[in-house]
Amino acid sequence: MLLLRDANTPAAVIRRADYSAPAFWIDTVHLSFDLDPAKTRVLNKMTLRRNPDVPEQALRLDGDELNLARVLVNGAGTSFKLDAGQLVLENLPASDSFELEIFTTCAPAKNTKLMGLYVSNDSFFTQCEAEGFRRITYYLDRPDVMASFTVTLRADKAKYPVLLSNGNLLDSGTLDDGRHFATWVDPFKKPCYLFALVAGQLVCREQRITSRAGKDHLLQVYVRPGDMDKTEHAMTSLINSVIWDEARFGLGLDLERFMIVATSDFNMGAMENKGLNVFNTKYVLANQATATDVDFANIESVVGHEYFHNWTGNRITCRDWFQLSLKEGLTVFRDQEFSMDLCADASSRAVKRIEDVRVLRTAQFPEDAGPMAHPVRPDSYIEINNFYTVTIYEKGAELVRMMQTLTSGQSDPLGREGFARGMTLYFARHDGSAVTCDDFAQAIADANPDSALAKLLPQFNRWYSQAGTPRLTTTTHYDATAQTYTLNFAQSCPATPGQEAKEAFVIPVSLGLVGASSGAALPLQLPGSAVAASDSHLFVMTQAAESITFENVLEEPVPSILRGFSAPVIVDFDYSDAQLLTLLAHDPDPFNRWEAGQRLALRSAIHAIKAAGPATSSLDAAFISAMRSVLRHPTLDAAFKELVLTLPSETYIAEQLDLVDPQRIHAVREAMREQLAAELAADWQWAFEAHCQNGGYRPDTLSSGRRALAGLALSMLCLAARTSDDVIWPGKAYQRFKDADNMTDRFNALSALVHAGHALATPALARFHSLFKSEELVLDKWFALQAGCTDRGGQVLSAVRQLLKHPDFHIRNPNRARSVIFSYCSANPGAFHRADAAGYLFWSEQVLELDAINPQVAARLARAMDRWKKLAEPYRNAAFEAIKRVAAKPDLSNDVREVVSRALAD
């Protein structure tokens, strides 16, 4: 009998506190697939064993959308039942170990969720994390069950010449009827979420390498025929990843063969399946004609990220999904460090750090303050796919970074050696097992017994259990007579869903003092020390309120607080404009130098937003002149200048306000951009001309920084042209768009015209489309640019509705759906938040349409309304109505249901 869950029954909440070890272990799995898009047959032969540590109970195997044909235990038929999707076996042999054979079929061609086994462009792919394996066969679909996998794939040889799975190829050959087979054996035990298969017409770039340890490996990047000319950068990134992990952490490649396969239908960026990483094409394919510098950088970091998971995630995995940040936070930290270590100099490292912090503050801080706020190690969830969040990933990475900082000492000022020692101990203790975030932190602390981390570990771990962004309120006191300077810190953390009161965090605050008149980095002398130790100090705060005093301070200095963004907190300090200008001009810490400029701009924006009357910009002469100095600075590099000259985003500005009027924010920020464009016109012209020629294309940090600055300059020049009737710069932009020899320059020129709303944007967009109509990833950019376009008169929504009717729009392809729908709803606040509520209506229609196709993608889109409670009227009420409209749909997925019910909760 088929059991249907009543549409109104609330979905089950899964709680971390309910964890119990599995009642059975699976030792070996032999999977045989007869691949057919309409009906794939899966034979699953397992050896299982009772877990002696758990009371005797039935075996409950997870399954989803499977057709069950046969179940055999030790070769004989057995009784079983199906209960809420699970296959339940009660009469199992008393022997310790037994064989279970399950035969099922599934329908990959109908799988629009892209979880489990699915078809994309006539090839087969799988995605199993978090709970997709149960859509392939009945199994104990949980990460703490680790088994040895052998996989045989059978398929039509002409249609599916390439047959891949995890590990090493054991055997392959021809079968009857034009079919062939391949058998793969994975030498490592793994949880089923790391299983993968790929079958189709693919070609590969390959490279043999010998590691430092003297082992030979075969690296392969598989793509569709026709995409080979876009695989070099992914391969280079993979080789760099192998070298880096061995050099920095002593972690070598443990497989003879390591494969990356690209697919254009993928729910997220990429997946770290053991030895067979499956990637979204967006994070593999690049050449200078089709990909921008940002694409190149993203490919490097995602290739690195998935490769680094081979140790942090695959060799040591998560005990349960609440521990997701164990592998994700750590692996993001590793990929951030990898990209930084590949940078040519300290300035490019700082640029990377600023970019990472910008992501954290514009995406994670709002998440931490909204209805979906959750600790880095959550306590409960309804749908685990909703918890692949910026909190788990990016805040999780900041926690790991703080651990590194807190192992630092005199001989190891950054903590890199201490942290590496901790990693070594972590692998010595836990290799081959499924563990918790606590196990990780314990290993890092135990390897550094004298460190601040070891001393403060239980308190440090509050970062894992408490949600919300702490605020560090700072005041200072200069005693001119005693020549002392005191910084008083008070920490607080707002309530988050389910967590009213918070206990004090361990906050590592890296700080320095800058001379108010000299701009010099001042030597720091603590009471009791005879001499100044250095000009930077790590203050480890543990109490709700604490102070630190420096001696021999000859004049009132400017404090540089939270250098390098040493903790994921908000620093609240009432800087004067003069102090910020000093930091912007002189802070030796590039992060705080950038931050000073952002604070100045933010202050001016908030002032204009709150003022009465029409939205105007009131950037003062001192700010404009400071920006000019940065732009024209003889030694600062271009990438850093581009960051300083970019105003805080509308989302970031909105986060600083209690009541958000998105139209007002947009109008003020646009006015500020126009003022910067006009008043620095001569400087932008200089910047463009000085940075527009960059010789042969190379995606390195230095030349991509130059292209970024030239791109910003061009967009400012086109913006200024709007109000001055200038036709020269739009003309130049059009020329550059036509002549560019790389996608970065071409796309920057196109964007400059489109965002400025210039008449030349129309022919340029048409030309771009016809040039790149056969390049899916470039078409995504074309769609995204139009859906993300600056709204001048409310035309963007109707343009978006037209784009949905474009013959190249396919809602089932997540990249394409994101390029239009997400670019509008999540990345274009000035166009999305309309007083007539039409943007919200559009959002609700799209969430519902997507939910029927692909709940994971729909739930991501649903998050666009997270911050609705902060909105001013009429937006707030209209948003409320739109969310209720979605919530009223009876057969919503758990994914969307969880997001909208949290949004509506008090």
Q: Which residues have a catalytic role annotated?
A: 306
Spatial distance between the Cα atoms of 459 and 503, rounded to a whole number of angstroms: 9
Question: Which one of 152, 385, 651, 744 is in contact with ligand B3K (CB under 6 A)?
Answer: 385
Helix (H) or strand (E) holding 134, with range, is none
List all residues 6 or more positions away from 681 whose beta carbon is below 8 Å from its beta carbon. 716, 717, 720
Residue 859 binds to ligand B3K (criterion: CB under 6 A): no
Stretch of 146-154, 263-271, 498-506, 565-573 lying at the interface with ligand B3K (CB under 6 A): 263-271
Number of residues that bind Zn ion (CB under 5 A): 2
**What is the token pair recorded at 342?**
């590949």
Q: Are 69 and 104 in contact (CB under 8 A)?
A: yes
Q: Nearest approach, Cβ of 62 to ligand B3K (angstroms)?
A: 16
Residue 388 binds to ligand B3K (criterion: CB under 6 A): yes
According to DSSP, the residues that pair with 514 across neighbouring strands are 521, 558
Stretch of 54-62, 269-277, 370-378, 472-480 lying at the interface with ligand B3K (CB under 6 A): 269-277
Q: Nearest approach, Cβ of 224 to ligand B3K (angstroms)?
A: 22
Residue 129 binds to ligand B3K (criterion: CB under 6 A): yes
Stretch of 83-91, 203-211, 227-235, 268-276 lying at the interface with ligand B3K (CB under 6 A): 268-276
By beta-carbon distance, which residue lies closest to ligand B3K? 129
CB closer to ligand B3K, 137 vs 325: 325
CB closer to ligand B3K, 378 vs 711: 378
CB closer to ligand B3K, 42 vs 271: 271
Q: Are 132 and 115 in contact (CB under 8 A)?
A: yes
Residue 130 binds to ligand B3K (criterion: CB under 6 A): yes
Spatial distance between the Cα atoms of 222 and 263, rounded to a whole number of angstroms: 9
Residue 196 binds to ligand B3K (criterion: CB under 6 A): no
Using CB under 6 A as the binding rule, the residues of this chain from 298 to 327 that contact ligand B3K are 305-306, 309
Q: Are 98 and 138 in contact (CB under 8 A)?
A: no
Residue 385 binding target from Zn ion, ligand B3K, none, CB below 5 to 8 Å by type: ligand B3K
Query: Residue with structure tokens 């070769």?
Result: 75
CA atoms within 13 A on the CB side of 186: 31
Query: Residue with structure tokens 């061609």?
Result: 109
In terms of Cα–Cα distance, which of 332, 355, 331 is closest to 343?
A: 355
CB closer to ligand B3K, 669 vs 902: 902
According to DSSP, the residues that pair with 676 across neighbouring strands are none
Per-residue mark of binding to Zn ion, 314-343 (x: CB under 5 A): --------------x--x------------
CB closer to Zn ion, 331 vs 651: 331
Residue 129 binding target from Zn ion, ligand B3K, none, CB below 5 to 8 Å by type: ligand B3K
Question: Which one of 136, 268, 803, 865 is in contact with ligand B3K (CB under 6 A)?
Answer: 268
Question: Which one of 265, 300, 328, 661 is in contact with ligand B3K (CB under 6 A)?
Answer: 328
CB closer to ligand B3K, 129 vs 320: 129
Per-residue mark of binding to ligand B3K, 583-622 (x: CB under 6 A): ----------------------------------------
Residue 257 binding target from ligand B3K, Zn ion, none, CB below 5 to 8 Å by type: none
Stretch of 133-141, 265-273, 663-671, 792-800 lying at the interface with ligand B3K (CB under 6 A): 265-273
Cβ-count burial of 300 within 10 angstroms (0-12 exposed, 13-18 middle, 19+ buried)? buried
CB closer to ligand B3K, 196 vs 444: 196
> 74-99 burial, b for 16+ CB within 10 Å, e for fewer?
eeeeeebeeeebbbebeebeeeeebe
Residue 718 binding target from ligand B3K, Zn ion, none, CB below 5 to 8 Å by type: none
Q: Are 436 and 457 in contact (CB under 8 A)?
A: no
Q: Nearest approach, Cβ of 784 to ligand B3K (angstroms)?
A: 22
Task: Calculate the alpha carbon distances from 319 to 21, 308, 331, 438, 562 in Å.
Answer: 9, 19, 16, 11, 34
> 488-527 burial, b for 16+ CB within 10 Å, e for fewer?
ebbbebeebeebeebebbbbbbbbbbbbbeeeebbebbee
Beta strand pairing call for 484-492 and 545-550: antiparallel
Q: Nearest approach, Cβ of 1 to ligand B3K (angstroms)?
A: 31
3-state secondary structure of 760: coil
**What is the token pair recorded at 314?**
């695959």
Spatial distance between the Cα atoms of 376 and 457, rounded to a whole number of angstroms: 16
Contact set with Zn ion (CB under 5 A):
328, 331
Contact set with ligand B3K (CB under 6 A):
129-130, 268, 270-272, 305-306, 309, 328, 385, 388
